[in-house]
């Protein structure tokens, strides 16, 4: 396979540093530029790889195959559209896209015949957890989701928790759980509500990304749990996404759509 030329956005974050290690260790990948809020001198990214603060300039100068974007939803949305305009295949590792935005972006990629991926969670184990939860939901209608992340995470609940709830909703009849007359003596104590399911978000230092989906039945519970111990756990999924967009001609939302 020919070398895949990559532009990496967000190289200084924890995910970005793990991505730099993954690309360097992958013979078929090559980083040709970084996109960062700071210049090379300000950021300390002086590795012989050019650093850009302006995406348009970066995409115009470098003929990349793939953009790996590990920034914020607002920045990633801007980078994604610009990448498509410059015929660069985007792999976006953030949440915050609406269904309408995804549909519009899919139309853009199909017009350009370009592969693209938006991935709420790159951990393969997390994707399997979601798939297993959807199977279990066919047999258990009572379910709650507890997700736990590091205390610097900006959104709650996580994109993975919302995606899990969506997948479960596809096979589960909507049901309001708990006692019909229950009251919250502390607002929010029962968590967020998605089609009658409850999602609880925990934010603590020392955590990375963890989720458990708890199903309740007559005299039993079933818990499906996934834990990411460090950011390297996401890199096989990033690698798979890059390989996928090189062979695709549309936008794919979520790794679960490429794992059989």
Checking if the pLDDT of 3 tops 90, the result is yes
* pLDDT of res. 97: 84
153 is catalytic: yes
* pLDDT of res. 248: 95
Measured distance CA(185)–CA(68) in Å, rounded: 45
Tell me whether strands 142-149 and 209-217 are parallel, antiparallel or unpaired.
antiparallel
- pLDDT-based confidence at 121, cuts 50/70/90? confident
Confirm whether residue 115 is marked as ligand binding.
no
Checking if the pLDDT of 234 tops 90, the result is yes
Angle at 83 between CA 82 and CA 87, to 5 degrees: 120
Does the predicted model carry a pTM greater than 0.75?
Answer: yes
Confirm whether residue 159 is marked as ligand binding.
yes
Confirm whether residue 246 is marked as ligand binding.
no
Q: Residue 129: which of 141, 116, 146, 117 has the closest Cα?
A: 146
Checking if the pLDDT of 136 tops 90, the result is yes
Confirm whether residue 188 is marked as ligand binding.
no
Mean pLDDT of 143-158: 94
Checking if the pLDDT of 46 tops 80, the result is no
Question: Residue 21, Cβ neighbours under 10 Å: how many?
Answer: 13
Confirm whether residue 223 is marked as ligand binding.
no
- Lay out the sheet containing 142-149: strands in order across: 192-194, 197-203, 142-149, 209-217, 220-228
Torsion angle, CA of 67/73/77/80, rounded to 10 degrees?
Answer: 10
* pLDDT of res. 114: 95
HSE, CB side, 13 Å, CA atoms: give it for residue 227.
4
E-strand spans in the chain? 4-9, 29-35, 51-52, 66-69, 89-92, 116-118, 142-149, 192-194, 197-203, 209-217, 220-228, 251-253
Q: Residue 33: which of 61, 12, 13, 2 has the closest Cα?
A: 61
* Per-chain mean pLDDT for the chain: 93
* pLDDT of res. 197: 94
Measured distance CA(167)–CA(106) in Å, rounded: 20
Confirm whether residue 93 is marked as ligand binding.
yes
* pLDDT of res. 106: 94
Domains of the chain: 4-122+232-257 (3.40.50.720), 124-229 (3.30.360.10)
The phi, psi pair for 28, rounded to 5°, reads -85, 0
Torsion angle, CA of 178/132/93/26, rounded to 10 degrees?
Answer: 160
Checking if the pLDDT of 38 tops 90, the result is no
Catalytic-labelled residue, pool 149, 163, 200, 226: 149
Task: Answer yes or no: are the C-beta atoms of 259 and 122 closer than 8 Å.
Answer: no
Catalytic-labelled residue, pool 5, 81, 112, 153: 153
- pLDDT-based confidence at 155, cuts 50/70/90? confident
Predicted confidence (pLDDT) per residue in 69-120, tens digit? 999 888 999 999 999 999 999 999 987 788 899 999 999 999 999 999 999 8
Task: Answer yes or no: are the C-beta atoms of 214 and 222 closer than 8 Å.
Answer: yes
* pLDDT of res. 23: 97
Measured distance CA(232)–CA(155) in Å, rounded: 21
| Among 11-15, 64-68, 191-195, the range of highest mean pLDDT | 64-68
Give the whole-number percent of the chain exceeding pLDDT 90: 82
Checking if the pLDDT of 1 tops 70, the result is no
């Amino acid at each position: 396979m020919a070398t895949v030329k990559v532009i990496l956005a967000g190289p200084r974050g924890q995910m970005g540093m793990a991505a730099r290690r993954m690309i360097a260790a992958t013979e078929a990948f090559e980083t040709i530029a970084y996109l960062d809020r700071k210049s090379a001198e300000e950021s300390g990214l002086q590795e012989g790889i050019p650093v850009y603060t302006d995406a348009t300039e970066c995409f115009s100068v470098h003929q990349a195959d793939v953009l790996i974007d590990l920034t914020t939803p607002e920045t990633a949305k801007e980078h994604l559209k610009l990448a498509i305009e410059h015929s660069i295949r985007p792999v976006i590792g953030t949440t915050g896209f609406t269904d309408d935005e995804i549909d519009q972006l899919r139309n853009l990629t199909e017009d350009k015949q370009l592969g693209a991926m938006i991935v709420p969670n790159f951990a393969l184990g997390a994707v399997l957890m979601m798939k297993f939860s959807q199977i279990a939901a066919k047999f258990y209608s009572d379910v709650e989701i507890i997700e736990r992340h590091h205390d610097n995470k900006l959104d709650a609940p996580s994109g993975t928790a919302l995606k899990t709830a969506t997948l479960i909703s596809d096979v589960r009849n909507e049901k309001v759980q708990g006692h019909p007359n229950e009251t919250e003596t502390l607002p929010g104590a029962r968590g967020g509500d998605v089609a009658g399911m409850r999602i609880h978000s925990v934010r603590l230092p020392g955590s990375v990304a963890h989720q458990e989906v708890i199903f309740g039945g007559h005299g039993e519970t079933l818990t499906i749990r996934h834990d990411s111990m460090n950011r390297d756990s996401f890199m096989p999924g990033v690698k798979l996404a890059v390989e996928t967009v090189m062979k695709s001609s549309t936008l794919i939302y979520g790794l679960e759509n490429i794992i059989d």
